[in-house]
Amino acid sequence: MQLTVDQLRRWIEVEFCRSTGPGGQNVNKVSTRVILRFDLHDCADIPPEGRLLIARRLASRIDRDGRIRISSQRHRTQSANRRAAEERLIELLTDALLPTKVRHATKPTAGSRRRRRAEKVRRSRVLSQRRGSADTGD
């Protein structure tokens, strides 16, 4: 499923506020930080099973109102921060909708088996040397 910002714009709420950090006088005058909230539960462009999958995978980013919150203050301009937040939203939603890759079990390679065995032999020698050198406790 290919998602675009234009497609989801109805469910996106954008708020601007002042950024933190360095920036001289500009940081005190201009609201360049962008806080973007996406209403996942009311979005009709994503099918219900897709919304459930996103809700499960992005649970830590969803507030109690069912909105995904993304903020951006990396750039010096409001428009650049807005673009960055929108791109991040699309990236998060797209990644959450991708099916998980199934891991196929593989056998250990000959080299890894050899290294494991050599480590076991080395460790066994260390432990057996400890056992043999115990004093009688005089």
Task: Tell me whether residue 128 is in a domain.
Answer: no
Most confident of 30-34, 39-43, 85-89: 85-89
Task: Tell me whether residue 119 is in a domain.
Answer: no
Per the CB < 8 A criterion, the answer to whether 11 and 37 are in contact is no
> For 34, which DSSP code?
E
Task: Tell me whether residue 114 is in a domain.
Answer: no
Task: Tell me whether residue 109 is in a domain.
Answer: no
Per the CB < 8 A criterion, the answer to whether 13 and 37 are in contact is yes
CATH of the domain at 36: 3.30.160.20
Per the CB < 8 A criterion, the answer to whether 55 and 67 are in contact is no
pLDDT of residue 113: 97
pLDDT of residue 90: 92
Q: How far is CA 49 from CA 3, 33, 41, 102, 117, in A?
A: 15, 33, 11, 20, 48
What value does the mean pLDDT take over residues 95-111?
A: 92
Task: Tell me whether residue 136 is in a domain.
Answer: no
Q: Give me the number of domains the chain comprises.
A: 1
Task: Tell me whether residue 55 is in a domain.
Answer: yes
What value does the mean pLDDT take over residues 89-117?
A: 93
Domain that residue 17 falls in: 5-97
Q: What is the pLDDT of residues 48-69, one digit of tens each?
A: 999 999 999 999 989 898 899 9
Which pLDDT band holds residue 124 (cuts at 50, 70, 90)?
very high
Instruction: With a cut of 90, say whether residue 4 has pLDDT above it.
Output: no
pLDDT of residue 133: 61
Task: Tell me whether residue 133 is in a domain.
Answer: no
pLDDT of residue 135: 61
Instruction: With a cut of 60, say whether residue 40 has pLDDT above it.
Output: yes
Query: Amino acid letter at 5?
Result: V
Task: Tell me whether residue 129 is in a domain.
Answer: no
Over the chain, what is the mean pLDDT? 87
